[in-house]
Amino acid sequence: MKQERLRGVMAPVLTPMKEDLTPDLPRWISLCKSLLSEGCTGLAPFGTTSEANSLGLGERTDMLDRLIDAGVPAEKLIIGAGTCAFPDTVTLSAQAARLGCGGILLLPPFYYKGVSDEGIFRATAEVIERVGDSRLRVYLYHIPPVAVIGYSLALTERLLKAYPGTVVGMKDSSGDWTFQESILKAFPGFDVLSGTEKFLLPNLRSGGAGTISAMANIIPGEIRGLYDSWQSPDADRVQARLNTHREAIKEWALIPALKALRAERHQDQSWRKVRPPLVALDDVQSGHLVSKFKTSFEEGAER
C-alpha cells in the first residue's frame, strides 16, 4: 500500500515534565491526542520545541512506543530523529520506519561546525543506508539559526537524486523566505513545510505542504483555519491575525513561553517545567505573557 504523505498543520509537541524532570507520559499522550482533535493534521514529536535534544535515546524510543500503543496513528507522526550520536539517529529512524510513522525529521550533524555539503551528504546517506527500510521517509530539517549548518539547494538536489521516494520533504526553519521560496521553485512536488506559521500562506501559494509550527501547540485550530481557507479572499487577513499572536510572545524564550501558555490554559503550573539549560518563566513574566497573548486576540479580531 502506498504511504500517504503528510500535509497541513503539525505541532512539534511540547514535552510536559514531572517534578524529577522526567517526561510526564500520560499528560504528553493526552496533549498529542488533543492537538489532533483540535486541528493538527499530524504531529512532530521530538522536534526542537519538544526539548528533544534534552531527551535521551531510551526516553524517545519508549515515548514513541507508548504513544502508538495509546492509539495515536503512526502515519500521522514525523519523528524528530536527529541526534549528535550517529547510532542513536539510526536507531530512532529505524524504529519510526518499522512502526509505520509518516516520516522522520532529520537534523544535519549539528555539533560540528564548518561541515561541508559532502560531509552532510555522507551523514544523511549513512542513516538511510543503515536503516535500509523502504518505508523510511526523510524530511530534512533545515534550521541554521540553531544548527549553524544546513541543507543547501545543491545538497538537497543531490539527496533527492540519490534517494528518490525516501527523501520526500524539508522543514525549513531558517526564517528566510527567500531560501524557502528557492526550494519550492527548484523542486516541485517536494513537501516543503514552513518552520513557522508566519510563512504558511506564501508556502501554500507556492506549492508547499504546510507548516510544522511551535504555535500549533497553542492555537492549532486557528492555524488549521488558514490551511483550509488559504485560497479564500480572507486568507491574507487570517495570516495577519496569526502573525499578531506570534508577535505577542516574541519577548520571551519560545519553549518556556509556550509552556507558560499551556499552564494558563489548564490552570496547571506544573506545565511550566523545562529541563535545564532552559529556565521557566517566573510568575511575573508568565502573567505579562498571558496578558499580552490575550490582547493579541483582541487586536487580531480588529483586523
In degrees and rounded to multiples of 5, residue 113 shows phi and psi of: -105, 160
Q: What is the model's pTM? A: 0.96
Q: What pLDDT, on the 0 to 100 scale, is given for residue 303?
A: 55
Handedness of CA 54, 57, 62, 65 (dihedral sign): positive
Q: For residue 254, name the pLDDT band (cuts at 50, 70, 90).
A: very high
Alpha carbon distance 108, 105 (integer Å): 10
Residue 22 reports pLDDT greater than 80: yes
Angle at 22 between CA 111 and CA 218, to 5 degrees: 80
Give the C-alpha separation, 217 to 227, whole Å. Answer: 16
Cα maximum dimension of the chain: 54
Share of the chain above pLDDT 90, in %: 95
Amino acid at 168: V
Of 94, 170, 100, nearest in space to 138 by CA: 170
Confidence class for position 219, pLDDT limits 50, 70, 90: very high
Average pLDDT of the segment spanning 60-74: 98
Which pLDDT score, from 0 to 100, does residue 46 have? 98
Q: Is the Cβ–Cβ distance between 55 and 84 less than 8 Å?
A: no
How many other CB atoms sit within 10 Å of the CB of residue 156? 22
Selection from 127, 116, 191, 204 nearest residue 154 by Cα: 116
Looking at residues 83-93, what average pLDDT do you find?
A: 96
Instruction: Label residue 70 exposed, middle or buried (CB < 10 Å: 0-12, 13-18, 19+).
Output: middle
What is the identity of the amino acid at 281? Answer: L
Contacts of 273 (CB under 8 A, 6+ apart): 16, 17, 18, 19, 21, 259, 280
pLDDT in tens, 180-207: 999 999 999 999 999 999 999 999 999 9
pLDDT reading at 1 higher than 50: no
Per-residue pLDDT, 2: 53
Per CATH, the architecture of 8-230 is what? Alpha-Beta Barrel (3.20)
pLDDT tens digit sequence for 107-137: 999 999 999 999 999 999 999 999 999 999 9
**Confidence band of 302 (pLDDT split at 50, 70, 90):** low
Q: What pLDDT sits at residue 299? A: 72
| Cβ-count burial 111-122 (b if 16+ within 10 Å, e if not) | eeeebebeebbe
Query: What would the grid cell of residue 275 be?
Result: 529541563
Cis peptide before 202 (omega within 30 of 0): no
